[in-house]
Amino acid sequence: MQALKEHVIKTRRRLYILLYFPVYLLIFFFLDYRELPLSEYTIVGTKWDQYIPFCEYFVVFYYFWFFYIGLGVVLAYFEKDGKNYYRTCAYMFTGMTIFLLISALCPNRGFLRPVVFPRDNIFSYFVGLIYAVDTPTNLFPSIHVFNAIVVHISITNNSRFGNRPLVKWASLFVTVGIVLSTVFLKQHSIFDVLTGILMSVVLYVIVYHLGDQKFLARVGKYDKNMVVSE
C-alpha cells in the first residue's frame, strides 16, 4: 500500500490529464441528447449491414469494453517510465476529440436497431438498456472500435507484457470481440467500424512513429519522472 501511495505521489502529473474524461463525457452527452430535425442528420450505413444478423450475445463484449478501456489506462499508468502511458493518452484523446468534432459539425445517425428483439432473454434485456441510454446518433468513427484498438496497442507495448504472448493474444481476442459486437448489436454500421479502424491506423502512425520523439521530449519537460530515452 505504501508503494502504491509513493507511486501516485511521484506520478501525480500523469493523473491530471485524465481530467479529459469528464470533459469528454459532458460534451458527448450534450451532442448525444441534443434535439435536431431529421433533415440535419447524415444517415450512415451500408448495403451490407442488412446481411449481418442481430446477435444479442455479443452484448457481453460490448459491456466489457468499459472495463477494458479503464484497465488499459491503469496498466499504462503503473508502468515506471511513463512513455507508454503518455502515448496511450495522446492516441486515445486525439481520436476521441476528432470524434466529438465530427459529431458537432456533421450530426449523423443510423436506423439499424431492430424494432422487436428476435429473442427474449437476459442478453436482449441488457441490449435494451444500451438502446435506452445511448441514442442512435453520432456513430462514426466508432469510439467503441477505436478505443478498443488503442488499448490493445497499449497492452502490446506495455513493458510488463514483453514476454507474455498469452496476454497479448487475450487482448486481441477481446478487441476483435468488441469490434464485432458493435455490428452484431446493430449499434454501428460497417462504415462506422471501418472509419474507426482507419482513424486508429492513421493516429498510430502519427503518435508512435512520425511525432514520437518530439512528443516524448515535450512530455519529459512536463513530467520530470518520465524517462525520455529509449
For residue 81, the model assigns a pLDDT of 77
HSE on the CB side for 175, CA within 13 Å? Answer: 23
Residue 210 confidence (pLDDT) above 90: no
pLDDT number for residue 50: 93
Query: What pLDDT, on the 0 to 100 scale, is given for residue 1?
Result: 67
What is the reported pLDDT for 7? Answer: 60
The pLDDT of residue 128: 96
* Beta-carbon contacts of residue 65 (< 8 Å; ≥ 6 apart): 144, 147, 148, 178, 181
pLDDT band at 230 (very low <50, low <70, confident <90, very high): very low
Stretch 89-95: mean pLDDT: 95
Looking at the DSSP bridge assignments, the partners of residue 137 are 109
Residue 224's pLDDT is what? Answer: 62
Contact (CB, 8 A) for 9 and 16: no
Q: What is the pLDDT of residues 54-65, one digit of tens each?
A: 999 999 999 999
Return the closest-CA partner of residue 85 out of 172, 202, 7. 7
pLDDT tens-digit readout, 71-80: 999 999 988 7
> pLDDT per residue over 133-169, tens digit each?
999 999 999 999 999 999 999 999 998 888 889 999 9
Q: Share the mean pLDDT of the chain.
A: 90
Which cell numbers hold the place of 90? 495522446
Domain ranges of the chain: 2-29+51-222
Q: How far apart are CA 205 and CA 153, in angstroms?
A: 12
Band (107; pLDDT cuts 50, 70, 90): very high
Taking the alpha carbons at both ends of the chain, their separation in whole angstroms is 30
pLDDT of residue 16 exceeding 90: no
Mapping DSSP to helix (H, G, I), strand (E, B) and coil, where does residue 85 land? helix
